[in-house]
Structures are given as C-alpha cells and as structure tokens.
C-alpha cells in the first residue's frame, strides 16, 4: 500500500469527495459550538465563566447517548439496506440544525440548554456512522488513510472557524451569527450526504489475487 496510490484511489471517487466536504462542514458546526458557545452564553446570559462552560458542554451526555443509541438503531435498520446509514445521518442533521438555532436565539438559558441537548443527541447520528459510510465509498485497502484525510480536513475547517469567530467578534458582530452559519452548514451536510452513493469496493482478498491470463 502506497500513500500516493491511496490518495489517487480515494479522490478518484466522487462519493469520497462528497463525504470529505460533508465531514468538513460537520467540523465547522462542531468547532463553532465547542469554541464559541461558552463565550456566547457568558455574554448573552451574563453567566460566570465556569457556569457558561458547563452549560455550553451540557449537551455532551446527550451526545454520548446518541452515539450508542444511534449506532445500534442504524445497525438494525441497515441489515436490509446499507444506505440506511446515510439516511439516519441525514435525519439526525436535519434535527440538529434547529437545535443550534434554538440555543442561539432564545432569551432563556434553560431553552438554550434544551437546544444544545437536541443538537448533541441528533448530530451524533452522523458521528457514529462516519466510518461505516467511508467503508461504503472507499477501497478497503485505503480506509484508514481515508479516515485520516477526512479528519485532517475537518480539523482544518474547524480551526478556520475558530479564527473566523474571533474576527467577527473583533468586528463587533454578534456571535449568534456564527451559530446561524453553523446551523446552515448542518443542512448543507445533509444535502451532501444524501448525494453520496455507496460503491462496490474492491475486497482485500480480491486486491491480492493476480489477474487471470487471457
């Protein structure tokens, strides 16, 4: 297995490129919430730093439940059709986006936390299905490389998102705009993921079998 061959194989598949864009936009939303939600709650609801930090990460228990429950639910649904993995993730993203908007557009801290819980629970359906979806669109020999590429791109986009949030604050733009954009990115994620088409991948055993002579 050569790195160059792996990249060539991965990027020759349109569904892998769609999956990479999807994972990048999902990283945008995730990093926006992790990086800027504590500051938003601190300023919008006049919470202390500690209270704001705990409130902003209050969705994590819901996310932990979501990755287990969502994974088990998807495995059950996908026994007859592997594309159900994509459909469950799309459904979760369509629920997670309103959750962010609710958290960023309410005058009540309790409602904001409810929105974050909805976001954490529903968004985790996409998290738990990312590797299985990658397996549907990539050559088995290059799955680990593909996962590395996806995470690299998501972290790159997430880092830019953190910087952009700071630039908006310096320009006196309300942080709620960042979360509105994050919610929009989740809807874009759902659209991109819906376009992903599972492809028949070359099995490891097939890859090691020499071609038959003519």
- Furthest CA-CA distance within the chain: 76
* Rounded-to-integer distance, Cα 29 and Cα 158, Å: 8
Summarised one tens digit per residue, pLDDT across range 86-121 is: 999 999 999 999 999 999 999 999 999 999 999 999
Q: How far is CA 68 from CA 1, 50, 52, 121, 128, in A?
A: 33, 28, 27, 10, 8
Residue 201: strand, helix, or coil: coil
Cβ pair 165, 35 in contact under 8 A: yes
Cβ pair 19, 135 in contact under 8 A: no
Residue 46: strand, helix, or coil: coil
Which stretches of the chain score pLDDT less than 50? 201-211, 213-214
- Global pTM value: 0.85
Q: Which pair of tokens denotes residue 115?
A: 């929105």
């Amino acid at each position: 297995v050569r790195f160059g061959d792996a990249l060539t194989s991965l990027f020759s598949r349109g569904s892998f490129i769609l999956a990479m864009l999807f994972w990048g936009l999902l990283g945008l939303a995730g990093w926006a919430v992790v990086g800027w939600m504590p500051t938003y709650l601190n300023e919008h609801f006049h919470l202390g730093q500690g209270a704001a930090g705990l409130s902003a990460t209050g969705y994590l228990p819901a996310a932990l439940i979501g990755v287990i429950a969502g994974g088990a639910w998807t495995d059950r649904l996908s026994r007859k059709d592997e594309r159900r993995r994509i459909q469950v993730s799309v459904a979760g993203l369509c629920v997670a986006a309103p959750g962010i908007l609710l958290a960023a557009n309410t005058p009540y801290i309790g409602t904001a936390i409810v929105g974050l819980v909805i976001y954490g629970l529903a968004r985790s359906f996409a998290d738990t299905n990312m590797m299985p979806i990658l397996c549907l669109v990539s050559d088995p020999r290059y799955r680990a490389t593909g996962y590395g590429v996806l995470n690299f791109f998501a972290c790159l986009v997430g880092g830019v998102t953190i910087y952009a949030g700071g630039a908006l604050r310096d320009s006196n733009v309300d942080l709620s705009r960042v979360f509105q954009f994050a919610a929009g990115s989740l809807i874009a994620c759902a659209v991109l993921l819906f376009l992903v088409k599972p492809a028949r991948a070359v099995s490891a055993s097939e890859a090691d079998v020499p071609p038959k002579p003519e």
